[in-house]
């Protein structure tokens, strides 16, 4: 009896308690037993198949709820210092690239721009003056050549006069002993010879002076030509330097109007009208919500089969499970979060306990889905990567 099936014992008892007139037929009992066995077999098969399917499907997916929305936000900074004249946007406002965010007082910038413009015009005029001076110096060289010719002619005349005076003096010196020439005439001839010698020396000095003047004129002309040789009014160094100062002043004036560098949402605005800000100070942030991505922190043991390009299904706590985002893996971080912490973990101790690390995985989202269901930086996400196609 101990080896009999409990179901059969129960049915046997019911069969014995039923009167002979109401006792079921044996074929009906067999049908009931077969039906129960079939149902039990089907239930067991369903459990086995479901468990196998769950194991197989779970092995082709890795999931984490340690994922957060992120974006390459833009820090808005003023490139010039000055007091804030007006602020055109507020927090949570959607802006487009190039839209005015705020303005600085441009009084100093306008004065600097006007001064730079004046210096630029002055440099151009000075170049024209230098060019004209070159012509004048070239003419002076020609005049000095004429002076040299004139001095040389005077030197020749003085030389002829000296030769005549020498002949006259020699002739009178020979006749003075015979009495044909008086001593007074001899003295006059001697004075004339001395005067002729002085005139020759003076003429030679005039030639040297004219030559020196011509050399000075040539040096001045060469120095002036060096300033403009091979250049035009636009390529002159002085003019180019003045033009650069003008461009800088114009740029500084334009920078008093600060515009949005990207499309996005204004966040963390920190300026007010009248506040003086320094160049380089961050005054607000623009978050490009249309190009947000997700950083999913997977455990290191989950990443053996994860590859760039794999499909990812994501759900946000903001919208719940009804909204599913479809993304793909684009890359992995260069290190775990703890590796880049301000105070990295120091595991070289005697009581070291291994802690499972998480590596950030970058996931890009479908822009169309983002436009339909916008996300914000910092929101929590659930990510499930399909690794079924990994090698």
The pLDDT value given to residue 296: 94
The pLDDT value given to residue 246: 94
Does a structural domain hold residue 54? no
Are 196 and 326 contained in the same domain?
A: no
Are 271 and 328 contained in the same domain?
A: no
CB atoms within 10 A of CB 6: 7
Are 271 and 298 contained in the same domain?
A: no
- Average pLDDT (207-233) is 73
Lowest mean pLDDT among 42-46, 204-208, 279-283, 341-345: 341-345
Number of domains within the chain: 4
Nearest alpha-carbon partner for 284 in 25, 64, 74, 16: 74
Mean pLDDT of the chain: 81
Residue 267's domain spans which residues?
75-105+255-283
Output phi, psi for 244, to 5 deg: -65, -40
Residue 71, both tokens: 């974006």
Check if the beta carbon of residue 330 is closer than 8 Å to that of residue 357.
no
Q: Is the dihedral of CA 247, 253, 256, 258 positive or negative?
A: negative
**Hey, what's the torsion of the CAs at 340, 342, 345, 349, to 10 degrees?**
140
For the cut 90, the answer to whether the pLDDT of residue 181 exceeds it is no
Residue 185 or 257, more confident:
257
pLDDT tens, 350-359?
Answer: 556 777 889 9
Q: Cα–Cα distance between 76 and 266 in angstroms, integer?
A: 10
Q: Cα–Cα distance between 388 and 391 in angstroms, integer?
A: 9
Are 90 and 222 contained in the same domain?
A: no
Are 171 and 264 contained in the same domain?
A: no
Task: Label residue 13 by pLDDT band (50, 70, 90).
Answer: low
- Average pLDDT (363-368) is 93
The pLDDT value given to residue 139: 72
Does a structural domain hold residue 48? no
Bin 81: left if φ > 0, else alpha if -120 < ψ < 50, else beta. beta
Are 6 and 66 contained in the same domain?
A: no
3-state secondary structure of 127: helix
Task: Label residue 268 by pLDDT band (50, 70, 90).
Answer: very high
Task: Among 241, 266, 283, give the residue marking a domain's end.
Answer: 283
Q: What is the CATH number of the domain that holds 243?
A: 1.10.287.620
Q: What is the largest CA-CA distance in the chain?
A: 209
Q: What is the CATH number of the domain that holds 260?
A: 2.40.50.100
Are 187 and 315 contained in the same domain?
A: no
E strands of the chain, at which residues?
61-70, 74-77, 82-87, 94-95, 100-104, 257-259, 264-267, 276-277, 282-287, 293-299, 311-316, 320-332, 358-365, 380-386
Are 201 and 304 contained in the same domain?
A: no
- Average pLDDT (2-12) is 51
For the cut 70, the answer to whether the pLDDT of residue 59 exceeds it is no
Are 224 and 293 contained in the same domain?
A: no
The pLDDT value given to residue 308: 93
Of the chain, the percentage scoring pLDDT greater than 90 comes to 42
The pLDDT value given to residue 12: 53
For the cut 60, the answer to whether the pLDDT of residue 333 exceeds it is yes
pTM for the full model? 0.61
Does a structural domain hold residue 45? no
Does a structural domain hold residue 50? no
The pLDDT value given to residue 342: 67
Does a structural domain hold residue 47? no
Residue 322 or 193, more confident:
322
Does a structural domain hold residue 46? no
- Average pLDDT (93-119) is 95
Task: Label residue 49 by pLDDT band (50, 70, 90).
Answer: confident
- Average pLDDT (133-150) is 72
- Average pLDDT (174-193) is 71
The pLDDT value given to residue 87: 95
Task: Label residue 346 by pLDDT band (50, 70, 90).
Answer: low
For the cut 60, the answer to whether the pLDDT of residue 19 exceeds it is no
Does a structural domain hold residue 55? no
Q: How far apart are the first and last CA of the chain?
A: 58
The pLDDT value given to residue 178: 67
For the cut 80, the answer to whether the pLDDT of residue 176 exceeds it is no
Task: Among 197, 228, 250, give the residue marking a domain's end.
Answer: 250
The pLDDT value given to residue 52: 58
Q: Which of 13-22, 76-85, 298-307 has the highest mean pLDDT?
A: 76-85
Does a structural domain hold residue 188? yes
Are 92 and 120 contained in the same domain?
A: no
For 85-110, give the DSSP string.
Answer: EEE---TT-EE-TT-EEEEE--HHHH
Are 172 and 210 contained in the same domain?
A: yes
**Hey, what's the torsion of the CAs at 61, 67, 72, 76, to 10 degrees?**
170
Are 218 and 239 contained in the same domain?
A: yes
């Amino acid at each position: 009896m101990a080896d009999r099936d409990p179901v059969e014992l129960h049915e046997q008892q019911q069969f014995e308690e039923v009167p002979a007139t109401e006792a079921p037929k044996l074929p009906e009992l067999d049908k009931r037993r077969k039906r129960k066995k079939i149902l039990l077999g089907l239930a067991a098969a369903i459990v086995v198949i479901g468990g196998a399917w769950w194991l197989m499907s779970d092995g082709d997916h890795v999931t984490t709820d340690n994922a957060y929305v992120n974006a390459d936000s833009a820090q808005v900074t003023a490139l010039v210092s000055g007091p804030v004249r007006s602020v055109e946007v507020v927090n949570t406002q959607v802006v487009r690239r190039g839209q005015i965010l705020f303005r600085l007082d441009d009084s100093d910038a306008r004065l600097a721009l006007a001064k730079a413009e004046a210096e630029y015009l002055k440099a151009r005029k000075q170049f024209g003056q230098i060019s004209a001076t070159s012509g004048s110096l070239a003419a002076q060289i020609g005049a000095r050549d004429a002076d040299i010719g004139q001095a040389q002619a005077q030197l020749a005349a003085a030389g002829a006069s000296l030769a005549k005076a020498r002949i006259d003096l020699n002739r009178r010196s020979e006749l003075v002993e015979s009495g044909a020439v008086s001593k007074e005439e001899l003295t006059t001839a001697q004075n004339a010879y001395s005067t002729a010698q002085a005139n020759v020396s003076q003429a030679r000095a005039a030639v040297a002076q004219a030559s020196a003047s011509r050399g000075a004129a040539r040096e001045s002309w060469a120095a002036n030509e060096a300033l403009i040789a091979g250049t035009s009014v636009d390529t002159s160094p002085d003019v180019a330097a003045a033009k650069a100062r003008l461009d800088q002043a114009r740029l500084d004036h334009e920078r008093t109007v600060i515009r949005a560098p990207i499309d996005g949402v204004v966040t963390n605005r920190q300026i007010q009208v009248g506040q003086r800000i320094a160049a380089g100070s961050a005054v607000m942030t623009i978050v490009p919500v249309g190009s947000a991505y997700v950083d999913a922190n997977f455990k290191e043991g989950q990443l053996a089969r994860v590859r760039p390009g794999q499909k990812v299904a994501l759900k946000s706590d903001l919208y719940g499970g009804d909204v599913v985002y479809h993304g793909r893996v684009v890359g992995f971080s260069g290190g775990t979060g703890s590796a880049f912490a301000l105070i990295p973990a120091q595991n070289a101790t005697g009581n070291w306990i291994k802690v499972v690390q998480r590596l950030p995985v970058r996931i890009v989202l479908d822009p169309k889905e983002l436009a339909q269901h916008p996300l914000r930086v910092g929101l929590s996400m659930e990510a499930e990567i399909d690794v079924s196609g990994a090698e």
